Structure 1
């Protein structure tokens, strides 16, 4: 049975009479990368700050490996490595000196071998003896990951970790997180960059105006009872259009005038449709289901809920 690493039950945060986070519940399992998605100001950072007690929650329960952060904070937080907003370092110290300074503050003894291991993991061997003020944003981010990992946490928490990174830096972060997840480390990451989150996460939750409006597996697809879009290359074009219209099939044709149809129907209808087209002497070159991207699903969900990324 998979272990629950982070458990959040009915989390509420109010400032005055205004609810910033409204009755949110979710969990993160061992070795899972879980994403919090939503526009800026949706409440993602408030949730993360509540988990690590940078702010006090109004009500609700937060447990890390079974330890309640209110009653057993020391036991709970020792399992956490986090970067909330931008990682901060002493700029006139080297990367290695910064890591050693952080290690000296850890409740858990950190060996020199462990520090070397982490430096190699984040690919900072060539720059670790340079002063941090000379580091690029991507290098500082890698040093931040090293700092978060140094005491071997079971849960990593990142708030907008790829902000400002170039595509190479984003890919590197993604690969590091996936590698750690295979070793049993859990990752909670918040972002508004949907394409990156689609490539990174196993599950995601959508936060809108402080509410959790949707939670799903990243690979979750439509069921057979729901309509999907299918791309079909059908020739000749005029006859195919006429038949689909007569059969009352919902479709659009490619704008460039090529015989590529995008048909919306139940998956269970496709075999019969193909048979009818073939009997009508329509040549069928392509039939493929169109899988919705995370961005399409996000916009569909938030539009239904009256929200947006703006």
Structure 2
């Protein structure tokens, strides 16, 4: 579903992403982790078609993002680390707009169901200025899920959420993958990644350091405990423990 081949994004000679390759299949959840400035958000923006790569190839559900951008983007939803909403549209208006843009046949019913699932039913007629940071985040995710994307990309999805909303968001991510989507979750919350992701990609300075299941990554460090958590492995892999 997601294929990235030798992705490079350079700025004035500096490679923010440096030859990154990865695949995420149907029903899989990949966690993307790395230190600040490691190239995570740049990678996701290239994947979402927001910024063009310097070189390399991105394929979404079989469509090359460069040669078939509309077909690729139809099948993808990207949730950025900061929620961007229209000031003069209510929560329901946002979902109605996305429904029309994507031609969702059951748009009205789907919108109401997503508002209910996100815990925003009472805010359905509220404007962004009347919503908390966490509510805005939940609304952006609801908009992303409206057209049932085949690929879902989330950048720091738990920012601003209270514990109950965090639990709901984790369930939403799992349910989306179970329904057949390929999912990438980028987060500094390593416990989230460890809990919901099938595989984990650790990047540093724009390059892949390690990729695999938690158990596979543990095998790369024979001197750590057999049940070492992702935080311990992350520190070792990135050299942050030195």
Asked if residue 293 in structure 1 is aligned to residue 232 in structure 2, the reply is no
Match of 1:93 among 77, 83, 89: 89
Aligned residue in 2 for 1:185: 181
What are structure 1's unaligned runs of at least 5 residues? Answer: 230-289
Higher relative contact order (CA 8 A, sep 6+): 2
Aligned residue in 1 for 2:15: 19
> Given that residues 18 and 206 in structure 2 are in contact (C-alpha distance below 8 angstroms), is that contact kept between their aligned partners in structure 1?
yes
Distance in 2, matches of 1:300 and 1:152, equals 38
TM-score (norm 1): 0.72
Asked if residue 146 in structure 1 is aligned to residue 142 in structure 2, the reply is yes
**What secondary structure sits across from 1:82 in the alignment?**
strand
Alignment of 1:109-188 (within 5 A): 109=105, 111-188=107-184
* CA radius of gyration, larger in: 1
> Given that residues 92 and 133 in structure 1 are in contact (C-alpha distance below 8 angstroms), is that contact kept between their aligned partners in structure 2?
no
Distance in 2, matches of 1:36 and 1:228, equals 22
1:87-127 per-residue CA deviation (whole Å, 9 max, x = no partner) reads: 21123432101211232222555532222232233232222
> Given that residues 137 and 159 in structure 2 are in contact (C-alpha distance below 8 angstroms), is that contact kept between their aligned partners in structure 1?
no
Q: Of Structure 1 and Structure 2, which has the larger fraction of its residues in strand?
A: 1
Query: Does the C-alpha gap of structure 1 residues 227 and 18 become closer, same or farther in structure 2, counting only changes over 3 Å?
Result: closer
Aligned residue in 2 for 1:194: 190
TM-score (norm 2): 0.91
1:13-58 per-residue CA deviation (whole Å, 9 max, x = no partner) reads: 1112111111000011111111110112110011111112211111
Distance in 2, matches of 1:165 and 1:119, equals 16
> Given that residues 33 and 188 in structure 1 are in contact (C-alpha distance below 8 angstroms), is that contact kept between their aligned partners in structure 2?
yes
**What secondary structure sits across from 2:122 in the alignment?**
coil
- Post-superposition offset of 1:221: 6.7
> Given that residues 199 and 213 in structure 2 are in contact (C-alpha distance below 8 angstroms), is that contact kept between their aligned partners in structure 1?
yes
What is the number of residues matched between the two proteins?
240
Give RMSD over aligned pairs: 2.1
Distance in 1, matches of 2:101 and 2:12, equals 35
Asked if residue 10 in structure 1 is aligned to residue 6 in structure 2, the reply is yes
What are structure 2's unaligned runs of at least 5 residues? Answer: none
Distance in 1, matches of 2:103 and 2:81, equals 23
1:159-214 per-residue CA deviation (whole Å, 9 max, x = no partner) reads: 12222333333222112111222111221111122122111211110110101110
Distance in 2, matches of 1:114 and 1:87, equals 21
> Given that residues 201 and 218 in structure 1 are in contact (C-alpha distance below 8 angstroms), is that contact kept between their aligned partners in structure 2?
no
